[in-house]
Structure 1
Amino acid sequence: MDMVGTDRDDRHGGEHDDLLSELLQPLRLTGVFDSRWHVRAPWAIEGDAEQSCAVLHYIVEGGCWITGEDRTPLELRAGDLIVFPTGTAHRLADRPDRKGVPLKAVLPERRPGTSGEIVIDGTGPESRLLCAGLHYDLSAATGLYTSLPWALVLDGAQVDREPLLRDTLRLLASPDRPVGPGDRLITLRAFEMALVLALRPLLRELADNPTSLPMLRHPGISRALVVIATRFAEPWTIDSLAREVGMSRSAFTAAFRALVGESPARHLTSRRMQEAARLLTETSIPQSAVPARVGYQSAVGFHLAFRKWFGVTPGEHRAGAERAA
């Protein structure tokens, strides 16, 4: 993505940084399928929409065009990185007008935890790409995350300004990537880190662009998002949230739904459930201590909310994580 102007309103800069820091705590991926592409023109591949899956393409050598339905074609060159946060369907090709073959025709099996390779021998210029589908827990995705643009691009110069991201991508793209015990987990966490490192500068840039994420330019809604992200354990009601950000209940609810895409109550529940799931899977704190940690005064109320959100009880969720470890 080309850098936008620097007309940032510094009065809200701290709040934006707080919110983006919360959002960029490592996104807990549940699995990754990655593939290395060695292609020579002419070539074109149609990628399906991937629910609960972020997709990234890193151009190692050469270049390609990215096109989507009713989207302006994007040209990528060596060193560029593109991320599709919500797995929007798109085409990769050597030319923007070339018709492609379905991805499933060249990679029929794309199970998380495995790798693949695409080789297309043409007579034209050669390109090499690293491509990956990063599966995440859809129930933990916030309204802000799911409202991100269909595609986010870091050009080569921007990638170079993030040396840890650049080096991680190069290692993952290497044909002689180290393998051994624990390789699947290491690969998962490496792609997880790459996704977070890529989103960090992109989201900061979006925060400076009111046309991309207008919710971050609305003082009351931006403040509410920070409050929910960082103080979710407090006993909030819609009325108290509205008072906290200096708005009436009706105006707050309407603006929040219009800008975030969901009600403030659902957004708050989503944040609480996300943290509850993390505590159950990543810590050993007693299950009985979780409700208070995420803003529930009633253990029964928490139990019912958790089961409704995830389809399993908190105990079943923790047991499942332990079995998968």
Structure 2
Amino acid sequence: MNDPLSQRLWFLFGLLLAAGLAGALLSPHFLQTSTVGYLLQYVPVLGVLGMAQTLVMLSGGPGIDLSIGATMSLVGLAIAAMFGLGVPLLLACALGLGIGGLLGAVNAVLVCVLRIPSLMATLATFFTYSGLALALTGGSALGGFPDWFGVLAQGRFLGVPIHMWTVFVPLAIVLHVLLSRTRIGSHIYAAGNDERAAFLSGVKVWRLRFALYCLSGVIAGLAAIMTLSWFQAARPDAGEGMELLSVTIAVLGGAHIFGGIGRISGTVLAVLIVTTMQVALQLANISQAWQLAAIGLLLVGSVVADNAVGDRLRARLRRAS
């Protein structure tokens, strides 16, 4: 219990219980069984984007990917366009993941090669990708997907959406193992904690961050596929607002904004908290403006808590070294 990160996880668990209690008080429909399935419908898309944001932040820099929602929208439109041209849907999805990686590589070049601060670089690509999505479609959605494709996000197994079992949970496990049990994970933490020391110890910081921006694009492609399956259509605004929600989830989950601190388990708890809040406010018929205000307050509180935990942990790391 003396570990600040463990304390953060207990804090998040308590916050999740508080969000659930608030939901029950705000709406009598919140505790219905159907609400759980409705809530979990949102978790995989937001969750994978939050995990991608966590990886980018952990590697330091400081790193952030504000284009992740626009990347998701553009990849979804690319998959729909390829399918409309006769490309088999599964192949179009695979190619979409590659397109996501290429869009992430654009961010990587801007940040890692041209040395543009990640905030400015990914904000620029956010506007570029969003503009392309609107310009190429005129703001219209692209549909025509087969019914079987909807099973991924609309189907249920044991009352839980299938994309929870097939995408969100496996990705969370893989990334947890990557960060906690592999050399790559230790390199990510090392680069985030002290870039110069990591470089002198043999970590290829430049390559590592480049790869993580590419991976962020691929994961945004996964989110696009789940969204396509859910809505059975590609919308140019599908990822609108997702970038800020992914940042909120990553920071609330314990990812330090300057890198080196954070866990995937914290990100998982954070996405459950955010989606619980959103669903509770929607069921209570609270306006979208107040919902955004609540998310904003949550982000401010998470940054304050993040700074407190980060300062304590960094001080402990300095004493240990």
TM-score range, shorter chain: under 0.3
User: Per residue, is there more helix in 1 or in 2?
Assistant: 2
Structure ID, larger Rg? 1
User: Per residue, is there more strand in 1 or in 2?
Assistant: 1
